[in-house]
Amino acid sequence: MEAIPTKLTHKLVLGLDELGGDGWYSSRSEAIRAAVRELIEKKKLEILEEAIEEDIRWGLYGKD
């Protein structure tokens, strides 16, 4: 794994600690990795949806 130094607000750190305390994640690092994975998947889906919508518009209306 690769370490990526970052700074978080106190409120975000408290939120991470709550997730760990509630049993959702075993550590702050695990919670952050899960959040980054979710962000990446969400962005990939957005890009795919935009491409599909563009293809549909092209199919309906042509190039312009």
Is residue 1 classed as helix, strand or coil in its secondary structure? coil
**3 assigned to some structural domain:** no
User: Which residues, other chains included, contact 25 with Cβ-Cβ below 8 Å and sequence gap of 6+?
Assistant: 16, 19, 31, 34
- Contact call for residues 15 and 9 (beta carbons, < 8 A): no
Confidence category of residue 21, pLDDT binned at 50, 70, 90: confident
- Contact call for residues 14 and 8 (beta carbons, < 8 A): no
pTM, two decimals, is 0.76
**15 assigned to some structural domain:** yes
pLDDT of residue 15: 93
- Contact call for residues 25 and 31 (beta carbons, < 8 A): yes
Number of domains in the chain: 1
**21 assigned to some structural domain:** yes
Instruction: Give 22-43 pLDDT, tens digit per residue.
Output: 899 999 999 999 999 999 999 9
pLDDT of residue 64: 58
Q: Percent of the chain, pLDDT > 90?
A: 88
Q: Which range marks the domain in which residue 55 is found?
A: 10-61
For 2, the token pair is 């690769």
**44 assigned to some structural domain:** yes
